Amino acid sequence: METKKWLVENVNLSFPQIKEAAMWIRENEVVAFPTETVYGLGANAYSYEAVAKIFQAKGRPSDNPLIVHIAKMEQLQPLVQDIPEHANKLINAFWPGPLTLVLNKGEGIAENVTAGLSTVAVRMPDHPVALAIIAEANLPIAAPSANVSGKPSPTTAAHVFDDLNGKIAGIVDGGATGVGVESTVLDCTTEIPMILRPGGVTKEQLEEVIGPVSVDPALEEDGQAPKSPGLKYKHYAPKAKLFLVEGNPLFLQQQVLAEKAKGKKVGILTTVENQVEYEADVILPCGSVKDLSSVAQHLYEVLRKFDEYDLDIIFSETFPEEGVGKAIMNRLTKAAGGDVVKCKI
């Protein structure tokens, strides 16, 4: 299959690129497009056949549910049975935006979108290209991240092309994404809404609107199976083995030297503030520790960049788990397979 590419700038609904991409989605093909978080791989959420193409292209296990994207509130009603009051408050506060709500499933949605669950995850993206394509297609679009399963999520059209060229119908290039990590997923079917995946909207922001919010124990405890779309299996990993390092730069540098002594080629994921503290084969800063949103924005880009250097091992600094730092550390922990080197002093 030849993967077509469309470049879209200064989005207008009348753009032929938007119309063609939407037409292909209506015809049950799979098309990648940008959202404000990462690039999504979209298909008709009402078609089992179309959704199956997402799983095939990504190599994603079929028991891993997908998030459905909408462009207007009228598209939400057929997807869900009811919308609790707290969900309405969150919709008014954060949609369009990087917040996914898990609600009781309505009729008509393809069974493989929800992996047979009685709930469906829905969000309204805050990106003009995504909204234009969904509106033009005039149907809800199931869309996980547009990458091969297990690899870092794509934040540019080039990332998508590297992973999925020849496997999907087309890619809409709307430039680099903004937030950089996926949406927050909040289960609204529980008595106290529960965060299943931290993301672009923080726990603190949610609680300002609806009061107490709980966190899925799987995010806090090893061995628990997460319930969120996109977190059931190892994700976000570069080719080289990644370790998180809890300790100061001197301790991290000691880990590097120990591996270098074994003949290993070593990389370091750090911040602009700390990059001068290290010596290694490759040192890549990922934003500023003073602005964790910049770390989130560049995280996947940097994880992918390491793949260009044929490294044996990567050591990453850790980040404060406050605000969007919770999402950053969630993704890094998944990318490292939970492997952490801790300073014992």
Residue 229 preceded by cis peptide, ω within 30 = no
Give the pLDDT of residue 107. 86
pLDDT tens, 73-102?
999 989 999 999 999 999 999 999 999 999
**CA dist 211 to 3, 48, 204, Å?**
46, 38, 9
Within the chain, which residue ranges are assigned CATH 3.90.870.10? 4-220
Give the mean pLDDT of the chain. 93
Within the chain, which residue ranges are assigned CATH 3.40.50.11030? 241-342
Q: Among candidates 124, 139, 24, which has minimal Cα distance to 69?
A: 124
Q: What's 241-342's CATH class? A: alpha beta
DSSP character string of 128-166? HHHHHHHHHHTS-EE--BSS-TTSPPPSSHHHHHHHHTT
Residues of the chain with pLDDT under 70: 10-14, 220-234, 345
The answer to whether the predicted template modeling score (pTM) of the entire model surpasses 0.85 is yes
Give the pLDDT of residue 219. 80
Q: What's 4-220's CATH class? A: alpha beta
Tokens coding 58: 């990504």
Give the pLDDT of residue 92. 98
Instruction: State how far the Cα of 238 lies from the Cα of 203, in Å rounded to an integer.
Output: 28
Give the pLDDT of residue 225. 46
Binding annotation for L-threonine? 37, 69, 123, 143, 183
Binding annotation for ATP? 60, 64, 119, 145, 153, 197, 236
Tokens coding 170: 């087309």
Give the pLDDT of residue 256. 97
Give the pLDDT of residue 223. 44
Binding annotation? 37, 60, 64, 69, 119, 123, 143, 145, 153, 183, 197, 236
